[in-house]
Chains A and B, each alone.
Chain A
Amino acid sequence: MAKKTIRTIPQDRTPIPEQAPEVRAKNFDEVTLGYEVEQALNESMRCLLCPEPACVPACPVSIDIPGFIEKISNKDYRGAYDTISQNSLLPAICGRVCPQEDQCEMVCPVGETLEPVAIGRLERWIGDLAIKEGWASIPYSKPNTFKIGVVGSGPAGMACAADMAKAGCDVTIFEALHKPGGVLRYGIPEFRLPNSVVDTELENLAKLGVKIECNVLIGRLFTIEDMLEEMGFDAVFVGTGAGAPKFMGIPGETLNGVLSANELLTRCNLMGAGDFPRHDTPMHLGKRISVIGSGNTAMDAMRVCLRLGAENVTCVYRRTEAESPARLEELHHANEEGIEFHWLTTPIEILDDGEGNVRAMRCLEMELGEPDDSGRRRPIPVEGSEFELETDMVIYAIGTNPNPIIGQTSKLKLNQWGYIEVDENMAGSIAGVYAGGDIVTGAATVILAMGAGRDAARSMKAYLGIRDSERACQIQDDGPMNRLFGIDIEERNFARIRIA
């Protein structure tokens, strides 16, 4: 076959079928419907199969992207799934929620001239096909005697648990809520990530032998120290997630009708408040809803409100669309569905209707000044620009503070902001305790959390002296010094004496 060039590949990115905006804004069914096989094959032809692909290092978990796309174009779909599975536990999830335009698709050379290869859509297609066909990459792993505890069943915990189970460990995940999945369950709404997809990935974990115990709040029912000292866990991974929602500290934040996006999403996604009173959890949705912030959580909150029947949903963000941290696709979808955007606007007070409910929000218009520490231009209030925005529900989606429970109940060292401090191996200050995901970095993405979980698993295996076959294969044999009896010395083969 002749080498593909930018001129010979299909020029247009294969469009993905979507529900029409006016239809989908009234239901919770998935917005993007996914490729059919012909569409996936067509899109797979657009990959140039670069010998030194830029997309692989741009992927937080280094998926062999040209490798799996080539297998798709050869109609070896199972092979494509196996290729992805070597690095990613959750293709059906990450294909949906990764910010591909900032990662693999951003560096795709096709994107220099045309639209980049739709890597995320292909990944999702393979992930969905695997679910449909019941494929799972369950390698045989020789059981060892190590017991691993994982705190939190979100993407970081799931990834760490899977790797440790594949290494033969006895893994238990502890989840504080009554259903597992973390942010994939309570946070990301059904129309973006169906719960059935999360369930399948959790079932795959169960097939690996991972146990999940819900309704266990670590720190309060028992502590991380208890796990190591009394319960026989050899290592613990802490992936407790983003934590406590931030408020701004402006007047009126305790009025009824003011809530965090976390609360809205938890009520709706986890508790079924959209189906009140058949489900017991109420929502008491407003009619004219303002959402403060413009990240993915803000987009999710706004689109949930629309689907629950809000008449008007407005986004209030102090910078411009260009600085909005949301995925492009989410912004685009929100726009299409009729969300109103007030860019360069910041609230300064939430006003009372006289009965303890929200009546309006007093706002200031902003303009962009000099760049700040984040490199983004700093918004500055425009003098005399104060105005009232009529609203009966205000939702905060401006990020999170670290959850205090681990700090309150463990000696694990935290950094100055209250996040768990880890070294380059994801190891915390207590021997055998690793941490990763949002509780280490602050709010980030599913794929970064998953990557952190895998990094931690790698270090955990080294700490426990479990030979990491994956790692051993990756190391080039460049001399006897690097290998002792076939064992990579970087594995820091700790001799651990277990006291029975």
Chain B
Amino acid sequence: MSFPALLHWSNSADTLHETSILAEVVLAMNKVGKNCKTNRNGASDGSPGGLELTGGNCGIVAREDFSDVTFLLEFHHPMMARAARPGQFVIVIAHEDGERIPLTIADFDADKGTVTLVIQAVGKTTRQMQEICQVGTKIHSVVGPMGVPSNTKGPKKVICVGGGLGVAPVYPQARAFKENGAYVIGVIGFRSKELMFWEDKFKAVCDEFIVCTDDGSEGIKGRVTDGIELALKGHDDIDELVAIGPPIMMQASVETTRPHNIKSTVSLNPIMVDGTGMCGGCRVMVGNELKFACVDGPDFDGHQVDFSDLMNRLARFRPDEKKAVENWEGG
């Protein structure tokens, strides 16, 4: 089986939708102490009530640039940090006239009161965020956590797969599996060594760790599917596979487990507007049923997902995305 597009997505910016999986945000969650007497203004970061629409105006406390397109933002939002669970996402608005983009949470820390997103600057909004989101500024608006949290209880042995940016959102799941006592095999894939991030952080929550790069500059030369095959060869008792990354990578990943009948979970990030179940823009076909990724997901059984339908829908606004970037670059 050949997937020529696999792992080549990270630089193909103009073909990717702003609100697609590529703009994944990872929110990490630490021990979620129920230190209540909650800050009622949590969402507004202590701003006064009334009509000030400062809802998710969250101060950026840290930023890290992994490459010229991939960057991490850690922002202050104690209430969200306390509420977040692996697998959930947030919706971000970059500025007053901005669009609402869903980003999967990469990390969250209830003690520090921060939530972390890893973002790939692939379209107008994310490129603008790369420019304006600096430490000391605030993200215009963030709402979340949203979506049904991942189920990280149960499996004894699990493979957690992250493709490129997908490494960020799958990390909190791997950590939670580990904390729940599972044997965790991590498989991460990048085009080359220079694009890698979080490998140490990820490795620390894994019992086994496989790095795949297209050019062989780190780990094994190959795609994540090669890494998964390797893990499957070594273990005949895998309970679950969790794969997050671009749709083509998730599709390829779940095909490796289909012959073995291993439960395979993917996290879908279709185009959304409100993220609360109201618009239906994020509908996906799962086992021939219409599902809303924002409220029924974002996690679904990868063997049931109609990926070609998903990829077609992700292309829905492609001409507009191009126009938005051109317009923005033109000033």
Contact = CB atoms under 8 A, between A and B. Distances in A.
A and B associate: yes
B280 A247 contact: yes
A215 B143 contact: yes
A267 B97 CA distance: 12
6 contacts: A216-B43, A249-B290, A266-B279, A271-B100, A282-B99, A282-B324
Interface in B308-331: 309, 312-313, 315-317, 319-321, 323-324, 327-328
Nearest to A232: B40
Contacts of A272: 97
A176 interface: yes
Leading 10 A-B pairs by shortest Cβ distance: A211-B49, A215-B55, A282-B320, A214-B55, A280-B99, A356-B312, A263-B279, A215-B56, A215-B143, A260-B280
Contact of A262 (B43, B147, B279, B290): B279
Interface residues of B, number: 64
Nearest to B43: A216
B125 interface: yes
B37 A230 contact: yes
A263 B97 contact: no
A222 B277 contact: no
A278 B283 CA distance: 27
B274 interface: yes
A266 B144 contact: no
A262 B277 CA distance: 10
A279 interface: yes
Given A220-B145, A221-B144, A272-B97, A259 B38 contact: no
Interface of B: 36-38, 40-44, 48-51, 53-56, 79-80, 83, 88, 93-94, 97-100, 124-125, 141-148, 273-274, 276-281, 283-285, 290, 292, 295-296, 309, 312-313, 315-317, 319-321, 323-324, 327-328
Contacts of B316: 256, 284
Contact of A281 (B41, B54, B100, B327): B100
Nearest to B85: A220
A242 B277 CA distance: 10
Given A178-B93, A256-B316, A279-B97, A217 B40 contact: no
Contacts of B125: 280
Contacts of B98: 279-280
A476 interface: no
B276 A178 contact: no
B307 to A, nearest CB: 12
Given A221-B144, A254-B309, A244 B55 contact: no
A208 to B, nearest CB: 11
Contact of A260 (B50, B100, B141, B279): B279
Contacts of B142: 215
Given A216-B43, A244-B295, A403-B276, A256 B53 contact: no
